[in-house]
Chain A
Amino acid sequence: MHERLLRVNMTRVRFCKNCPMRRRTTQAHSKFGLRAVMLRPALMIARAILTLTLTLSTICAADDDAEARKTMVMEIRAGVGATSSEIGKETLNKQVMHAMATVPRHEFVPSHLREYAYLNRPLPIGYGQTISQPYIVALMTDIVDVNSDDVVLEIGTGSGYQAAVLAELVKHVYTIEIIKDLGAQASDRLKRLGYNKVTTRIGDGYYGWEQYAPFDAIVVTAAAGQIPPPLIEQLKLGGKMVIPVGTGFATQYLVLVKKDPDGKVSTKELLPVRFVPLTGGH
């Protein structure tokens, strides 16, 4: 992750070499001769200071983000521990937690909400859509139980965050978004951040993506709250599909669809929270 941010930073530095300020300096040199020659070291020093400041501030920001991500991951870990009986495990997969600690969530939220990017809460991303709560993203990613050879389909790209998290773990992610502008923005964002393992498409997710089927896992995050039955056919034997049910700001429960190696399909409804209503005050 640090490397990715530093690459962005280096681009900025290189860009400075060609900036209008440099061109103006060259012109000044030819026009004012000695005076300009005398000014050059000062300009070079100023430029160096500016570059250093920019670099340092970017590194500092990157450090801050990394720190915030660490805190977010710790919070997810605590949440999982407290919900272990509901989700059936004490901890989430290490790779999933690593992916959560790697993907720069602040890049996937609107700029005015960046300061909240690493809070364990859902955030609005425009078009009536949300970026899910990190805890739910981690849980969903863990539930589909993917590995590095897997090919995953996502219905509902949204900001692209879930696809980016999956891309850290699998061979390839195919993602479909029905909102044109949102899909285009997510595609640009994923490309800019170097997520080449994600292929995006704008269109109807109901029939999945036959060209790349079958999939090892399918994640449905579309707001409609429906599970398109044709998707089950595109699920590999032994594959898993997960769907969060509820509003963007409050996931009621997760539906896990499992296709056994013998083709038998079952669903499991998981409460992402330890709340047993039948035992009174206990």
Chain B
Amino acid sequence: MSREASAGLPEARPTNPILISIGLISAAVLAYEILLMRLFSIIQWHHFAYMMISVALLGFGASGTFLSLTIRRLLRGFHLVYSINGLCFALSMVAGVLLAKEVPFNPLEILWDYGQWTRLLEIYLLLCLPFFFAANCIGLALSHFTDYIHRVYASDLLGAGGGALGIILLLYVLSPINGLKCLAVLAVAASAVSWLRLRGRPQWLVGMLAVIAVLLPFVLPGQWMAVMPNDYKGLSQALQVIGTHVIEQRSSPLGLITLVESPVIPFRHVPGLSLNTKTEPPPQLGIFTDGDALSVITQFNGDRSRLAYLDYVPSALPYHLIHEPRVLILGAGGGADVLQALYHGARQIDAVELNPDVIDLVQQDYATFAGGIYNHGPIRIHTAEARGYVAKTNYQFDLIQVALLDAFNASAAGLYALNESYLYTVEAIQAYLQLLNSEGMLAITRWVKLPPRDGAKLFATVVTALRQMGVDHPENQIMWIRGWQTSTLLVKNGLFSAKDIGIMRSFCDTRWFDVAYYPGMHVEEANQHNILDRNYFFEAASNLLSTARNKFIHAYKFDIAPATDDKPYFFKFFKWASLPELVALRGRGGLSMLELGYLVLVATLVQALLAGLVLILLPLIVVKRSGMISDGGWQQSGRVSLYFFAVGLAFLFIEIAFIQRFILFLSHPLYAISVVLTGFLIFAGLGSMFAGKHTLDSSIAGVLWPIGGIGLVALIYLIALPNLFVLFMPLPDVAKIAIALLLIAPLAFCMGMPFPMGLSRIAIVAPTMIPWAWGINGCASVISAVLATVLAIQYGFTMVIVLALCLYGMAAISYPCALARRGQPA
């Protein structure tokens, strides 16, 4: 083995404290990444979560480039360089967030003001610094302990796994900003441990690091650390109103809940309220999740007449068609839909809400204000994810209401385009319909957008669901009405009668709502009260029910193809073909129809591709031109880069795709992310250790075993997982988590091997290539995280997994064993 990289170093075997230090750095860096996603969901919107993944891995890529150009010099002072990087990681974590949140970036303005892109770049650079320093630590360790790459990589993965789980638990007890302080302390501790163990001089540095670690959380002024949502988010705008103030705030990994009182100018939040109503809602408290998505707790003193306004919204229609129904409300929020059901005399109400903090506010702290609606009477409240509850419950219902919980402005601006939603997929509709009694109804309310997007896509999804369930004439089971602001789609488990239609007409007439579709409707009945320049809704409904359905979906300028569990992007309406037209119409309102979320994702991908290209090619160009490194391996750089690039892409493709698959099974996005991420990282770490202990020879057969294993297990899962999920779905959560981990174990175990095996191979022939390979892997991951989402939106998660397997195949072909043969001295 070449000892160029570690020549003259006192030790080449990583002791346990060093491995712990590496693990701590990895834990902190992964936790930081998740924390950034949380912080930027509060400050901006959800789609920045993807950008944070990209930012993180950009730092890793940059580190690889930096190390490959400077590794010799840095390894001479390994102890000091490692510890300083650890310290810089800690400090830049805090400083990066503090500075980045002060950058006046406004994504809503991004298509008007190109200066916003510069601000975005500033945020990018500020936030990728900690990742750069952390990756330096790990890259240095990999280059220093060349004989023990598997152990270093295993520590890295095990630490990352612990970090993923730890931060989610931490966010239950600490706010994101206090969580950040904890991570900084962790990173300083990692730095101190390494300095102490590596017997670095001067020793007093350890004391200084310890002091920094202890003091860091206390020396930062509270004002600096305050996290304020974007000025254009609902909470910021509400707080500008006279007399409005925050009365309570609760933080959990599910979101930051802010309860707001507005005594001077009441909220009066009733989406879709008819203009022909004389009643005003009672006082309300506003609940904002992550500074947006307003829902309200309405004051209720038992006097139902105060709730009369709830009969003047489109979602009240089903209560006129079914008397005293047994109701299931999916997305109870602050209780508006529950009150509506109460007002209409529902005999039993089951309300499902994911966030326990929201339930707690209504059930405990503000129970008196809310009239104790979640505590007694015909109401049962369930803390669960909607699809999970639907899969488990044994009850049958007369009415299922899917509440409107997303904020109009964010929805209209396309900021939810990247949110996976399993509420509005073909499979979801089928699951709801199966819970309905005979003659029962499903009611889904969405915002009205012009030209129709949500409504049309929902209609297409419902028609597909019904057809797949064997319904020959779905047109007889659907009714669709719209007000000026919201529309409600009704699907009946049976046929709508003439009486139903008469009641619906009367309901609409008295409230100035329009009929968008009902069985046997004539075109002249549409567009009576809220007049559009075309019968958009009726035309969409008629076409989607006709034989020309696919042609219509294809020709429609927005993506209204039904969402499925494999492509759960209900809120993605963007079509590339419409882009030139919409951009040309910029000055005349065309931008209102562009989806920012999707465009930001694509911009992130382009940015990541460019950055990845530069970071991978730069060291290669410098090395080749300067001739400063004489390793024969550099001549085979194409093969090496292909191998590590393919492995980097494939690992994240599989990880992201399986997180999505497990969200449905574990019925909770947080369980899914923490279990899958932790499971993948820890089992991959164990796989890496196993590969180290049973070092396989340099032949391609060595790497074929794990890659073959990945292919086999993934293919089995592609076929068998849906059935396994259905089988195990009714089990308790703990059992499901255990099953999920068991399922992840063999796949992740194999996935942990190809990277350290490749790295060990090049450590033999060209150790100076290690940081470069590490950087390539980082760059591939940058691209992978974003590319996986782009591909999933376009082709579904199954395709992402298939592509990952192809990439592993490509890696097997380009495995650097050939390089070893050529590179070895004759």
Contact = CB atoms under 8 A, between A and B. Distances in A.
B803 interface: no
Nearest to B582: A275
A75 B587 CA distance: 8
Interface stretch (A17-25, A36-44, A121-129, A141-149): A121-129
Interface string A244-282: 011111111101010000000111111111111111110
Contacts of A245: 408, 412, 485
Given A178-B265, A229-B276, A250-B108, A269 B484 contact: yes
Contact of B533 (A182, A270, A279): A270
B577 interface: yes
Interface in B531-560: 531-534, 536, 539-540, 543, 552, 554-558
A83 B530 contact: no
Contacts of B277: 229
Contacts of B270: 226
B530 A267 contact: yes
Nearest to A116: B113
A110 interface: no
Contacts of A276: 451, 534, 557
A267 B529 contact: yes
Task: Point out which of B449, B529, B531, B554 has the most chain A C-beta atoms below 10 A from its C-beta.
Answer: B531
B585 interface: yes
Interface string B620-649: 000000000000000000000000000000
B694 interface: no
A267 B512 contact: yes
A212 interface: no
Contacts of B112: 121-122, 249
Contacts of B268: 206, 226, 228
A278 B237 CA distance: 36
Contacts of B531: 266-269
B588 A273 contact: yes
Contacts of A270: 533
Contacts of B484: 227, 255, 267, 269
B593 interface: yes
Contacts of A75: 587
Determine chain B's interface SS by DSSP, over half rule.
loop
Contacts of B376: none
Contacts of A199: none
B589 A128 contact: no
A12 interface: no
A180 B242 contact: yes
Nearest to B532: A269
B117 interface: no
A244 to B, nearest CB: 10
A70 B275 CA distance: 39
Contact of B536 (A229, A255, A278): A278
B412 A206 contact: no
Contacts of A83: 588
A124 B275 contact: no
Nearest to A258: B531
B265 A204 contact: yes
A79 B112 CA distance: 17
B591 interface: yes
A136 interface: yes
Contacts of A62: none
B588 A272 contact: yes
A109 B270 CA distance: 32
A104 to B, nearest CB: 21
A270 B450 CA distance: 8
B510 interface: no
Interface residues of B, number: 65
A128 B555 contact: no
Contact of A136 (B108, B113, B485, B589): B589
Contacts of B485: 225-226, 245
Given A225-B408, A277-B558, A280-B555, A268 B265 contact: no
B240 A250 contact: no
Contact of A273 (B237, B241, B412, B585): B585
B577 A227 contact: no
Interface in B397-453: 408-409, 412-413, 448-452
A82 interface: yes
Given A124-B109, A178-B242, A278-B556, A229 B530 contact: no
Contact of B450 (A133, A250, A253, A267): A253
B529 A277 contact: no
Contacts of A88: 533
A232 B275 contact: yes
Interface in A35-75: 75
B357 interface: no
Given A135-B587, A269-B530, A128 B275 contact: no
Nearest to A126: B231
B396 interface: no
B106 interface: yes
Interface in B323-346: none
A22 to B, nearest CB: 42
Contacts of A268: 530-532
Task: Point out which of A203, A204, A232, A245 has the most chain B C-beta atoms below 10 A from its C-beta.
Answer: A245
Contact of A277 (B451, B512, B530): B451
Given A178-B242, A229-B278, A277-B451, A252 B592 contact: yes
B584 to A, nearest CB: 10
A247 B587 contact: no
Interface string B598-614: 00000000000000000
A91 interface: no
Given A269-B531, A269-B532, A278-B556, A251 B592 contact: yes
B371 to A, nearest CB: 23
Contacts of B533: 85-86, 88, 270-271
Contacts of B591: 249-250
B377 interface: no
B679 to A, nearest CB: 40
A247 B106 contact: no
Interface in A82-99: 82-83, 85-86, 88
Contact of B588 (A82, A227, A257): A82
Interface in B251-295: 264-266, 268-270, 273-278, 280
A179 B265 CA distance: 11
Contacts of B554: 280
A277 to B, nearest CB: 4
B450 A269 contact: yes
Contacts of B356: none
Contact of A179 (B240, B530, B534, B592): B240
A213 interface: no
Interface in B441-494: 448-452, 484-485
Contacts of A278: 451, 534, 536, 539-540, 543, 552, 555-556
A171 B343 CA distance: 46
19 contacts: A75-B587, A83-B588, A121-B112, A122-B112, A135-B587, A226-B269, A226-B270, A227-B484, A249-B109, A251-B592, A267-B484, A269-B448, A269-B531, A270-B533, A271-B450, A274-B585, A275-B581, A275-B582, A280-B555
A-B pairs, top 5 by smallest CB distance, nearest first, are: A280-B555, A250-B592, A272-B589, A128-B231, A273-B589
Interface of A: 75, 79, 82-83, 85-86, 88, 120-122, 124, 127-129, 133, 135-136, 178-180, 182, 202-204, 206, 223, 225-230, 232, 245-253, 255, 257, 265-281
Interface of B: 106, 108-109, 112-113, 231-233, 236-237, 240-242, 264-266, 268-270, 273-278, 280, 408-409, 412-413, 448-452, 484-485, 512, 529-534, 536, 539-540, 543, 552, 554-558, 577, 581-582, 585, 587-593
Given A127-B231, A249-B109, A271-B589, 15 more contacts: A135-B587, A206-B280, A226-B269, A230-B280, A232-B275, A245-B412, A245-B485, A250-B589, A255-B530, A257-B275, A265-B276, A267-B529, A268-B530, A269-B484, A278-B451
